[in-house]
A and B are shown apart, each in its own frame.
Chain A
């Protein structure tokens, strides 16, 4: 709270909140406190308008019509690709493949790159903190090819064990390290740059799951040094069903297509076909053009707020949340206990009250949180819990909403001690 008022450049939170129509509603008779942004973020009016305007004026299929609407749709689709490239710090828009989301990007890379580049006995290194979407596609690859999976542990504060990475790389069989930029449960920012340096020295590639990272951090793929980076539009205020995979051009060029269909071909003959150049080779079928337009609008919106102010706001939320939650009796927080190296995602348990019960009691107060395993069952096992509660923030989150969370937790304690 204090930091918010002392910081020189302060986000005008009231104005930001007014940009998100979904926030201005009551739930169960209380103003909505939406603390589930790590699952999906609410969308600013600029995104809703961009999608609507595209649908009203420019809707047509891309790359095939010779008429005006198709020209416009194609232009907007490719402009969105260039916008994503700029957001990621990538020089070449052809290195950006539109996908449904991060999950599809992992599947694409596992099928296409993994299928072509990996052999039985090769190793893929993951972490125990990965989202299921960065585990299951690699397990499917392992079952097809005999590739071995290894998991890096996190320490008791939720930080990645780099010593285990070194041990894995020393074996000489690791061809890929695939990890989240930011853990969706612990909120930990993983040292991706360090991981890339070590992996590259050992001849391994690095895939970064940016589902949470892209929504909270400035991303620069060349500074990170990774080989693949993927994120989802809906985690940062864009529509659902659109996301992007960035990969180094030489990797994309060498990867076989993974889905066949229209849009991705050069010439189709009875027995075989030749394929379009990258990135279109990986975009079979009619793409989600309106989604891409909405995603570009979301990136524009975030940029318009000013990255520094967004980051200062996030840092203030981290400090405020940690301070308030630490004062709740019986609350155990998972992930880094201090404000460094983490984002404003707070995962916790409360003594004697199951997370589902917390979620129901908070819902009655208009407070939306997530309860369960957060698609990270390996991490839950590592933490020794079946399920946890998670409150997660985005650019529109107010510190007062975290205060309401704490009051709601006190209500839950009262109900369960009755």
Chain B
């Protein structure tokens, strides 16, 4: 299978450097991802959280702490902290924005959409409900980085279980 032609290479590769075996780095390092990495949203700690989850990626040492506060069925506040690569940090930062005000059922749908996008589902990647998260669509072409993108989402799933607890 040939790769669909990658977007214009502004990732700093020299001309002729792009390879048929690996998609262009620019499909991974989108401006929006780098922007969230540098200026993460909702980073910090949440007093009186209803769910508080710590999750590690033992194979690489990434760690995230995710805290949620609910009013009734809806998420009204989210904070995260931890250490990780641009993909895990940006994905978690975007996640905290998009879940704001959503019900548990809506968030669960969202989780499924993001997972589908990480499997390469193009319809999911076009879903406007994902907001900034669509910038992560290129991650599925870098299989070793998919678990980075999903770290925060796995923590979110665990947090929903805890809140229902």
Residue numbers of A with Cβ under 8 A of B are: 27-30, 352-357, 360-361, 363-365, 371-373, 377, 380, 386-387, 411, 414-416, 418
Q: Which 4 residue pairs spanning A and B have beta carbons closest together?
A: A29-B19, A356-B85, A414-B12, A354-B85
When the two chains form the complex, which single residue of A365, A377, A380, A415 contacts B29, counting CB atoms closer than 8 Å?
Answer: A415
Q: Which residues of A contact B61 (CB under 8 A)?
A: 372-373, 377, 380, 386-387
Determine if A418 and B148 form an interchain contact, defined as CB atoms under 8 angstroms apart: no
B28 within 8 A of A: yes
- A414 and chain B: residue at smallest CB distance: B12
Q: Which residues of A contact B8 (CB under 8 A)?
A: none
Determine if B25 and A360 form an interchain contact, defined as CB atoms under 8 angstroms apart: yes
CA distance A364 to B142 in the complex (A): 10
Determine if A386 and B19 form an interchain contact, defined as CB atoms under 8 angstroms apart: no
Q: Which residues of B contact A418 (CB under 8 A)?
A: 10-12, 29, 31, 34
B2 within 8 A of A: no
Determine if A373 and B12 form an interchain contact, defined as CB atoms under 8 angstroms apart: no
Q: Which residues of B contact A361 (CB under 8 A)?
A: 25
CA distance A372 to B82 in the complex (A): 15
Given A360-B145, A364-B13, does the pair A29, B60 have CB atoms closer than 8 Å? no
When the two chains form the complex, which single residue of B20, B29, B62 contacts A386, counting CB atoms closer than 8 Å?
Answer: B62
CA distance A355 to B148 in the complex (A): 12
A93 nearest CB across to chain B (Å): 38
Contact with A along B144-160 (1 / 0, CB 8 A): 11001000000000000
Supply 8 A–B pairs (Cβ within 8 Å), ascending by A.
Answer: A28-B21, A357-B85, A357-B86, A373-B61, A415-B25, A415-B34, A416-B34, A418-B10
Q: By the criterion of a CB under 8 Å from any partner CB, how many residues of chain B are at the interface?
A: 31
Contact with A along B1-24 (1 / 0, CB 8 A): 000000000111100011111100
When the two chains form the complex, which single residue of A30, A363, A387, A414 contacts B83, counting CB atoms closer than 8 Å?
Answer: A387
- A385 and chain B: residue at smallest CB distance: B83
- A366 and chain B: residue at smallest CB distance: B19
Residue numbers of B with Cβ under 8 A of A are: 10-13, 17-22, 25, 28-29, 31, 34, 38, 59-63, 83-87, 89, 142, 144-145, 148
B26 nearest CB across to chain A (Å): 8
Determine if B20 and A29 form an interchain contact, defined as CB atoms under 8 angstroms apart: yes
- B83 and chain A: residue at smallest CB distance: A386
- B86 and chain A: residue at smallest CB distance: A357
Q: Which residues of B contact A365 (CB under 8 A)?
A: 17
When the two chains form the complex, which single residue of B22, B31, B59 contacts A363, counting CB atoms closer than 8 Å?
Answer: B22
B39 nearest CB across to chain A (Å): 12
Determine if B60 and A372 form an interchain contact, defined as CB atoms under 8 angstroms apart: yes
Determine if A30 and B19 form an interchain contact, defined as CB atoms under 8 angstroms apart: yes
Determine if A29 and B21 form an interchain contact, defined as CB atoms under 8 angstroms apart: yes
Given A29-B20, A356-B145, A357-B86, does the pair A415, B60 have CB atoms closer than 8 Å? no
Q: Which residues of B contact A357 (CB under 8 A)?
A: 29, 85-87
**Given contact pairs A354-B89, A373-B60, a sample of 14 additional A-B residue pairs in the complex whose CB atoms are under 8 Å apart:** A28-B19, A29-B17, A29-B18, A353-B86, A354-B84, A355-B85, A356-B87, A357-B85, A360-B144, A364-B13, A365-B17, A380-B61, A387-B83, A415-B11
Determine if B22 and A364 form an interchain contact, defined as CB atoms under 8 angstroms apart: yes
